[in-house]
Amino acid sequence: MATTTATLNISSSDLTGDTLALSTTTNLNKAGTVTGLDQTTGVSRKIVGTATAGVELFAATGYADEKAHKVYVKNLSTTATEYLTLHVGTSEVGRLYAGDWTFLPWSATGSNNIDVDTSADNMTVEYMLIYQS
């Protein structure tokens, strides 16, 4: 049985009046179980040659509906003004500026594809899906 643990640490000495130090850890399990997620696409990178909309990272039709899928996406740009706009289906999730990343749950139902738009030419997006079949 696979065991995958995700940990998030957020710290800042000057964001609030006090030092901020948040940390949380969880095991990534299959929906409704304590059995670990055991499938992954592996980490991939895609270079988008020209600024474009609708670059598909994951098609919902390729994965089981309503499971405990987890998506990782990172903008590898080092230019502060360059961003990726992340979409799940027709909903815009938000922008990832240079170096930003996200890790989120995903319901692969209907047309809930994971797509990005790029703001500039030759941007590289790094992405991975941890999922259950």
What would the pLDDT profile of 16-35 be if each residue is shown by its tens digit?
Answer: 888 999 999 999 999 999 99
Report the amino acid identity of residue 13: S
Tens of pLDDT, residues 31-76: 999 999 999 999 999 999 999 899 999 999 999 998 999 999 999 9
| CA separation for the pair 94, 85 (Å, rounded) | 6
Q: Do the domain assignments include residue 70?
A: yes
Q: Which pTM was predicted?
A: 0.93
**Would residue 1 count as lying in a domain?**
no
Domain residues for 103? 39-131
Query: In whole angstroms, what is the distance from residue 60 CA to residue 109 CA?
Result: 6
Q: What is the pLDDT of residue 16?
A: 86
Domain contains 33 = no
CATH number at 79 reads: 2.60.120.10
Is residue 45 in a domain?
yes
- How many separate domains does the chain show? 1
**Integer Cα distance of 10 and 28 in angstroms:** 20
Asked whether residue 53 is domain-assigned, the answer is: yes
Inside any domain, residue 28: no
